[in-house]
Amino acid sequence: MDSSLLKTLLETLLALLLIYNIIPTLLTRFGQVGVISRARKGEGKVALTFDDGPDPRYTPQVLDILERYQVRACFFVNGIKARSHPDLIKQIALAGHEIGNHGFRHKAAWLLGPGATTREITETNRIIEKLTGQKTRFYRPAWGLFNLFSLWYYWHKDLKVVLWTYMSWDWDKRATAESVTRKILNKIRDGVILILHDSDSNPGASPGGPARVVDALPKILEEIKQRGLQVVPLEEIVLNKSNKPALKKAILLLWGLIERLIRRVAGIKDLGNGNTSIWRLALRRYRGKEWKMPGGFALRAGDYYIEIHLNNERLLELLDLNNENTSIERMAITAMWEVRRGLPELARLMKNDEKFSKAKVLLGITLLHRGAERFGFAVYDLKPGIFRTVAGWYEKMLLALFHPGGLKNLKSYRDKLSPKYVVMTREELMRRYSPAGTPDAH
């Protein structure tokens, strides 16, 4: 393999790793973007959470201690364990404790693609809701790790992502009941969210760790009370906090990085300086079967075409995205009129540029195709299959990110949100948009 090609490949893989895994985790764990890791100060409240259960050895002992001290906690459970121990889940719920989602098999998000990430969350939610009759509101990712898709998924599903303020290190093999107690009491403050574990069967856990928690818990609860603090359910300190604006901002930032990487790898360039033009484009060669179009023209294998994309940053400047009632129709009309203004620019490019003058067709894929015909485009359906599915998912995710109402306001348009080809032949473009007095040379 050519060394320059290998270097480009390695740089691309590293960039993908940074964007998909590392940057989302840094933003959330250290930047506290879109997550909750403590309560508001000044209210004298502390939250107590338990991860990795339920476990038939330890969870009942923890429940007995909490009942003795009249304290309610949140248990972040693994779906596979909840399915294996349904009676424990029901016991937790009947005791008045909250149940959060901690993934199905406790897999790190860094090792999961979009599909696996979705299954880890949805399957656990389904099990919890079936056993308790209550919708899951809280989520804590395994190992506290995130990927780009998980951030987007939490945001549009309105899951409250709850981390922790301090660790007790109860899972460490060197931990003792005394060390767990000491670490917590040294850090306990107004607004702290504590994390402990009621199972030791997940990778990385020290055998017998929850036994140390059971021994330490009474002293911890007694000391919290003596300090004038109150252990309260997560709902009292979490549900009144909205993380959507910050999370959406972070996702848009990450998406911008991804788009730049995709454009670099795919050779998609801004037209002009990128600040004033609606267009991004690339010159391609057609590889499919003969495609017959209006007016008798046919696009054949080997023909050049211009693959057109909208400049999303430019489009954002033009749309009223502070208004959650902005409709898809309004977005489509605004986009299409900006397209109309930019078509003469493409006509000049195809006329005067040596490279792009070889193209016979403009071709793009979009959800915002309403009204495209009035500007000279022909609109075609995508054939059913994986390409249409992926294209539709990609376009809908873009709309959800850019629309202020997110997917909530897009659900009513589900039947209309179908990606389609928009195509215009060179002849049609020149007939409509070629500058007067400069006839097309082709």
By annotation, the residues acting in catalysis are 51, 197
Alpha-carbon gap, residue 200 to 51, rounded angstroms: 10
At residue 429, what is the residue type? L
3-state DSSP call for residue 196?
strand
Rg for the chain, CA atoms, rounded: 28
- The gap between the terminal CA atoms of the chain, to the nearest Å, is 40
3-state DSSP call for residue 160?
strand
Strand pairing report for 45-53 and 193-197 = parallel
Alpha-carbon gap, residue 379 to 371, rounded angstroms: 10
Q: Helix axis angle, 86-94 relative to 59-68, nearest 10°? A: 10
At residue 277, what is the residue type? S
Q: Which tokens in the block code for residue 5?
A: 């090609």
Strand pairing report for 166-167 and 298-299 = unpaired
Alpha-carbon gap, residue 286 to 193, rounded angstroms: 57
According to DSSP, the residues that pair with 162 across neighbouring strands are 36
Residue with tokens 């964007």: 19
> How many other C-beta atoms can be found within 10 angstroms of the C-beta atom of residue 419?
21
CA 338 vs. chain centroid, Å, equals 28
